[in-house]
Structure 1
Amino acid sequence: MAVSLLALLDDIAFLADDVAAMSKIAAKKTAGVLGDDIALNADQVTGFAPSRELPVVFAVAKGSAINKAILVPIALLLVAFAPWALTPLLMIGGAFLCFEGVEKVFHKFLHSEAEDKARHAELITHVQLTPDQLLAAEKEKIKGAVRTDFILSAEIVVISLGTIQGAPFMTQAAVLVAISIAFTIGVYLVVAGVVKLDDLGLYLAAGVNGAKKAAGRFILWITPYLMKTLSILGTVAMFLVGGGIIAHGFPFLHHFAEHAAHEAQELPTVGNVLAFGTPLLINMAIGLVVGSLVLALVYLYKKTFRKSAAAH
């Protein structure tokens, strides 16, 4: 009996080690989605009163948890009954990441100045709504944020699953659950902190202590730049992750990146640095190309659909 118990504990410890190791790998692969997830969700509370920012973040976090509770069992069913579908799904997820990145890069070219002005006017009008109108607007914005999170959560689950293909079923299940819980809590804690930075800055800036006032002014100054930096880093990571997924799906691209890294490593002095950076640059280039192609197809479809609808 004692031997059986020790064997069981040893198996549990071994599984825990596997889960921890694979979770780290999966976390690295989903970095692109996380960076954009944080920036995007922080933007969701723009226009709300400070007292409603955290409740909105909490409501979206709850919706995100429900999304992952739906997606993880679906992913595990695919592992059990249709493992052949994982690679195509992974490629679709990678292409969608690339598309999102390109769409963000070309935002100024694809969206008119009139649309940007309309968005600004909407934010100004929003703060003048009645309490009932604000509550209705808040519910709609939460629904929209949860729908967006569903796509991001699906990407996280599929990309994570792609890093643990071939592992025992229980290990895959444990990794997906661990990643889903950790990312949901982590992302929305960071989002909560980011959206309250301006309040912290105002609180400190209103104090009488000189050092606190200076710190408050610094926080108020740096917060917009922090949001912009998060968005930029998230976009870059989307190209890197999405391009890397596409490259792994096409062996000749993956071998090309490996060969280029090997050649770069042979160079004196800067070889190690170039060996590290070359695959990243190749993945980014692949991400830009794939994202541009998907974006062109999407806009071609929209243009054709609008023409067809106008004709009828």
Structure 2
Amino acid sequence: MPGGLVALLDDVSIIARAAAASVDDITVAAGRAGSKTAGVVIDDAAVTPSYVTGLSPARELPIIWNITKGSLKNKLIILLPGALLLSWLLPSAIVFILILGGCYLSYEGAEKVMEKLGGQKHGVTVEDEITDPAAFEKQRVNGAIRTDLILSAEIMAITLNEVAAEDFIVRAGVLAIVGIGVTLVVYGSVALIVKLDDIGLHLREKTSAAAQAFGQFLVTSVPYLLTTLSFIGTIAMLWVGGGIILHSLHELGIHGPSDWAHGLQHTVEAVTGGLSGILGWGTYAALSALTGLALGFVLAILIHKVFKIGITHGDH
């Protein structure tokens, strides 16, 4: 009996060590995969504040919470099982999902550029007269969750592509960690951003001159922050979308575009000395963004001018 107990305890210790190793593998892989989704995360965080623009301040946090719940459902209930099933049954399809996501991001980014340049806007915006605030809020939330589904699918596809060689448990753990972590970071940041002006107004009522000055700074700077985030979000969309297209084409055996972009990156690195890393990366990112912009323009023209499809965004 003692021998049996010792053997059992030894088996338990082996299982525990294996489990600890799996947790460590998941953590490392999640960090590696999460870094590759940074561009999509930046875009998501930059775009989301627009969902509450023009609505009652009292409804800002409830709206963001509703979007957060929808985002978690998207990632954990719809996309995570789907991604695991796809990686099991048809792993070769992941690259085509990445291409679809890259096309979508490029289209969205290019359409924002076109709108800024005076092009036609698509969908209801806060500039339009809102006759039913409750219905408009519901439309905003639903539009946000739909857009989140696409961005989340792209995040999960990028993540899955990074851990495709890992075992099932690690893949599932990484997808869950990245999905939950990204959601909390994005919508936590958004909640803070949209309430900065309220925080500033509160600080302006304090007796401390320093608090009043900081409060005034927040109130004054929030509009500029939102504008900056919108600009960064557009650049991130084009950069990530174009980069995904270049990488995916390379994976499919079409090496020309990616090789040309990397060749220019290496040329810049070779002539810029100590700044070679930053300038080389910036060169490839800029070429990726230009690729996304060109592709997005073509898609926007096809969708709106050729096929006459008026896509309702409700959020952009």
Task: Using structure 2 for the length normalisation, give the TM-score.
Answer: 0.84
Structure with greater helix percent: 1
The CA distance in 1 between the partners of 2:113 and 2:39, in whole Å, is: 15
- Aligned match of 2:228: 229
2:25 pairs with 1:10: no
Contact 1:34 1:234 in 2 (8 A): no
In structure 2, relative to structure 1, the CA distance for the partners of 1:240 and 1:286 (3 Å cut) is closer
Q: Which residue of 2 aligns with 1:163?
A: 162
Q: Within the alignment, does 1:182 sit opposite 2:181 as a pair? A: yes
The answer as to 2:287 corresponding to 1:285 is yes
| 1:44/1:145 contact within 8 Å kept | yes
Equivalent AA in structure 1 for residue 231 of structure 2: I
Asked if the contact 2:49–2:190 (Cα under 8 Å) also holds between the matched residues in 1, the reply is yes
Q: Is the 8 A contact 2:102 2:241 kept in 1?
A: yes
Letter matched to residue 24 of structure 1: G
Provide closer, same or farther for how the CA distance between residues 80 and 272 of structure 1 changes in structure 2, counting only shifts above 3 A.
farther
1:95 aligns with 2:95: no
Return closer, same or farther for 1:288/1:110 CA change in 2, 3 Å cut-off. Answer: farther
Correspondences of 1:12-161 after superposition (within 5 Å): 12-68=19-75, 69-109=77-117, 111-112=119-120, 119=125, 121-122=127-128, 125-126=129-130, 133-161=132-160
Shift of residue 142 of structure 1? 1.3
C-alpha contact (below 8 Å) 1:96/1:291 kept by paired residues = no
Find the aligned partners of 2:11 and 2:232 in 1 and give their Cα distance: 50
4+ aligned runs moved over 6 Å, structure 1: none
Q: Which amino acid aligns with 1:287?
A: A
1:293 deviation in Å?
A: 2.5
Contiguous gaps of at least 5 residues in structure 2: 1-7, 310-316
How far has the Cα of 1:302 moved from its partner?
2.5
Q: How far, CA to CA, are the matches of 2:150 and 2:270 in structure 1?
A: 41
Deviations 1:205-228 (A, max 9, x none): 133321111111100111112112
Q: Mean alpha-carbon deviation: is it higher for 230-239 or for 209-218?
A: 230-239
> In 1, are the aligned partners of 2:99 and 2:244 still within 8 Å (CA)?
yes
1:274 aligns with 276
Q: Secondary structure at the match of 2:53?
A: coil
Distance in 1 of aligned mates of 2:159 and 2:298: 28
Contact 1:261 / 1:275 at 8 angstroms: preserved in 2? no
1:15 deviates by 1.4
Aligned residues: 295
Query: What's the TM-score, normalizing by structure 1?
Result: 0.85
Residue matched to 2:301: 299
Worse-superposed segment, 146-155 or 174-183: 146-155
Q: Cα distance 1:258–1:120, how it changes in 2: closer, same or farther (>3 A)? A: closer
2:85 partner letter: L
Q: Which amino acid aligns with 1:284?
A: A
1:137 CA drift (Å): 2.3
Q: Amino acid of the residue matched to residue 167 of structure 1? A: E
Aligned to 2:200: 201
Q: Separation in 1 of the partners of 2:127 and 2:258? A: 47
Q: Would the alpha carbon gap of residues 21 and 136 (structure 1) be closer, same or farther in structure 2, given more than 3 Å must change?
A: same
Change (3 A) 1:264 1:305: closer
The change in CA–CA distance for 1:136 and 1:237 in structure 2 (over 3 A counts) is closer
Asked whether the equivalents of residues 261 and 276 of structure 1 are also in contact (C-alpha less than 8 Å), the reply is: no
Q: Which amino acid aligns with 1:81?
A: L
Rounded to whole Å, the distance in 2 between the matches of 1:121 and 1:3 is 68
Q: CA deviation at 1:260?
A: 4.5
